[in-house]
Structure 1
Amino acid sequence: MTLNKIKRTAICFSLLAAVSCTDNFEELNQNQVGATTADLEQNFNNIKSLIKPAFTRLYISDVTWQYQLQQSLQADGWSGYMTTPNEFGGVNNHNYALNAGWNGYAWDDAYVNIIANLHKVKQRAEGKYDQFYAWSLIIKVATMQRITDMYGPAVYSKFGAEGLATYDSQEEIYTQMFKDLDFAVTDLSARIAAKEESKFTQTDQSSCAGSYSQWVKYANSLRLRLAMRVSKVNPSLAKTEAEKAVNQTYGVLSTNADVMKIKSPLDLNVIDVMSHAWGGLFMGADMESILGGYGDPRLAKYWNPSTIVPGEIKGVRTGIVYPTPSTYAAFSQTGDRTKTGEVTWMSTAEVYFLRAEGALRGWNMGGTAQSLYESGIKASFEQNGVAGADAYLADNTKMPKNYVDPINAANNAAAVSKVTVAWGTDKEVNLEKIITQKWIATYPDGQEAWSEFRRTGYPKLFRITNNKSGGVISTELGVRRLPFSANEVANNPKGVESGVAVLGGPDNGATRLWWDVNKANF
Structure 2
Amino acid sequence: MKKIYLIFTAALTLFVSACQKTDFVEAYTDPSKISVTTVEKQFTGFLNANKWYVLPDYWNYFVVLRTTLNRYNQAVGWANSANQYIPGAAGVNDRWNNYYGFVAQYRELEKVYGKLSTTDQADRRIYMIAAAIYFYDHTQKVVDLHGDIPMTEAGKLSINGGDYDKSYPKYDTAEAIYTKMLDDLKAFSDELNSINVQSGILAGFKTQDFVNKGDLTLWKKYCNSLRLRILMRASAASAFSARATSEIADILNNPSKYPTIGSNTENIQIGVYDLNTDIHAKNFRSGLEDWDGNIAGKAMIDHMNKNADPRLRAMFEAGINAKGVYNGLDPLLDNATQTALIAGGTMAIYNRSTLSRNQFFPGMLMNAAEASFIAAEYYLKANNAAAAKTAYEKGVRQSIEFYYNLRKLSNDNTAPTLTAYTEEEVSKYLASADVSWDNATDKLNLIATQKWIHFSVVQPVDSWAEIRRLDLPKFNFQVDDANAQKQPPFRWNYPSSEQTYNATNYSSVKAKDNLSTKLFWDTK
User: Structure 2 length normalisation: TM-score?
Assistant: 0.80
The residue that corresponds to 1:262 in the other structure is 270
1:298-347 deviations in whole A, cap 9, x for unaligned?
Answer: 01111111134321122223475323866513222221331242222111
The question of 1:378 aligning with 2:382 is answered: no
Distance between the aligned counterparts of 1:100 and 1:213, measured in 2?
A: 40
Shift of 1:78: 0.9
The residue that corresponds to 1:138 in the other structure is 133
Q: CA 1:441–1:472 in structure 2 vs 1: closer, same or farther (change >3 Å)?
A: closer
Distance between the aligned counterparts of 1:319 and 1:491, measured in 2?
A: 41
Distance between the aligned counterparts of 2:348 and 2:13, measured in 1?
A: 42
The residue that corresponds to 2:445 in the other structure is 432
Distance between the aligned counterparts of 2:15 and 2:483, measured in 1?
A: 43
The residue that corresponds to 1:350 in the other structure is 370
Shift of 1:36: 9.1
The question of 1:163 aligning with 2:157 is answered: no
Shift of 1:275: 4.1
1:467-493 deviations in whole A, cap 9, x for unaligned?
Answer: 2572345x4xx3211111222222212
Aligned residue-pair number: 468
Percent of matched pairs sharing the same residue: 21
1:200-258 deviations in whole A, cap 9, x for unaligned?
Answer: 2112223x221011011011101101111011113212113323433362510001110
Distance between the aligned counterparts of 1:436 and 1:287, measured in 2?
A: 9
Distance between the aligned counterparts of 1:459 and 1:213, measured in 2?
A: 34
Distance between the aligned counterparts of 1:153 and 1:430, measured in 2?
A: 32
The residue that corresponds to 1:100 in the other structure is 89
Shift of 1:495: 2.6
1:205 to 206, 210, 221: 210
1:15–1:492 Cα contact (<8 Å) kept: no
The residue that corresponds to 2:501 in the other structure is 491
Distance between the aligned counterparts of 2:189 and 2:375, measured in 1?
A: 19
The question of 1:124 aligning with 2:112 is answered: yes
The residue that corresponds to 1:416 in the other structure is none
2:74–2:297 Cα contact (<8 Å) kept: yes
* Secondary structure of the structure 1 residue equivalent to 2:317: coil
Higher alpha-carbon deviation: 117-126 or 166-175? 117-126
The question of 1:69 aligning with 2:86 is answered: no
Q: CA 1:425–1:362 in structure 2 vs 1: closer, same or farther (change >3 Å)?
A: farther
The residue that corresponds to 2:40 in the other structure is 44
Higher alpha-carbon deviation: 179-188 or 263-272? 263-272
The question of 1:18 aligning with 2:10 is answered: yes
Distance between the aligned counterparts of 1:269 and 1:334, measured in 2?
A: 16
Distance between the aligned counterparts of 1:32 and 1:100, measured in 2?
A: 32
Distance between the aligned counterparts of 2:110 and 2:432, measured in 1?
A: 52
The residue that corresponds to 1:333 in the other structure is 349
Distance between the aligned counterparts of 1:28 and 1:80, measured in 2?
A: 36
The question of 1:253 aligning with 2:247 is answered: no
Mark the runs of 5 or more structure 1 residues left unpaired by the alignment: 1-8, 400-419
Q: CA 1:479–1:37 in structure 2 vs 1: closer, same or farther (change >3 Å)?
A: closer
Letter aligned with residue 375 of structure 2 = R
Within 5 A, what are the aligned runs for 1:219-238? Answer: 219-233=223-237, 234-238=240-244
1:158-182 deviations in whole A, cap 9, x for unaligned?
Answer: 2245331111111111001112313
* Secondary structure of the structure 2 residue equivalent to 1:202: helix
Q: CA 1:459–1:389 in structure 2 vs 1: closer, same or farther (change >3 Å)?
A: farther
Mark the runs of 5 or more structure 2 residues left unpaired by the alignment: 22-27, 157-165, 273-277, 405-419
Distance between the aligned counterparts of 2:63 and 2:230, measured in 1?
A: 24
1:85–1:322 Cα contact (<8 Å) kept: yes
Letter aligned with residue 96 of structure 1 = Y
Distance between the aligned counterparts of 2:13 and 2:326, measured in 1?
A: 47
1:142–1:222 Cα contact (<8 Å) kept: yes
1:450 to 454, 464, 474: 464
Distance between the aligned counterparts of 2:137 and 2:186, measured in 1?
A: 14
Q: CA 1:364–1:154 in structure 2 vs 1: closer, same or farther (change >3 Å)?
A: farther
Distance between the aligned counterparts of 1:275 and 1:326, measured in 2?
A: 20
Distance between the aligned counterparts of 1:200 and 1:225, measured in 2?
A: 26
Q: CA 1:395–1:36 in structure 2 vs 1: closer, same or farther (change >3 Å)?
A: closer
1:217–1:253 Cα contact (<8 Å) kept: yes
Q: CA 1:244–1:485 in structure 2 vs 1: closer, same or farther (change >3 Å)?
A: farther
* Secondary structure of the structure 2 residue equivalent to 1:345: strand
Q: CA 1:294–1:153 in structure 2 vs 1: closer, same or farther (change >3 Å)?
A: same
2:245 to 239, 245, 255: 239
1:150 to 131, 140, 145: 145
* Secondary structure of the structure 2 residue equivalent to 1:354: helix
Shift of 1:46: 4.1
Distance between the aligned counterparts of 1:27 and 1:292, measured in 2?
A: 45
User: Structure 1 length normalisation: TM-score?
Assistant: 0.80
Distance between the aligned counterparts of 1:220 and 1:440, measured in 2?
A: 24
Distance between the aligned counterparts of 2:225 and 2:430, measured in 1?
A: 30
Q: CA 1:389–1:422 in structure 2 vs 1: closer, same or farther (change >3 Å)?
A: farther
The question of 1:299 aligning with 2:312 is answered: yes
Higher alpha-carbon deviation: 491-500 or 144-153? 491-500
1:480–1:509 Cα contact (<8 Å) kept: yes
Higher alpha-carbon deviation: 319-328 or 228-237? 319-328
Q: CA 1:439–1:198 in structure 2 vs 1: closer, same or farther (change >3 Å)?
A: farther
Distance between the aligned counterparts of 1:513 and 1:154, measured in 2?
A: 12
1:441 to 454, 461, 469: 454
Distance between the aligned counterparts of 2:306 and 2:363, measured in 1?
A: 27
1:130–1:187 Cα contact (<8 Å) kept: no
Distance between the aligned counterparts of 1:287 and 1:96, measured in 2?
A: 20
Q: CA 1:32–1:242 in structure 2 vs 1: closer, same or farther (change >3 Å)?
A: closer
1:266-285 deviations in whole A, cap 9, x for unaligned?
Answer: 53254433344554431112
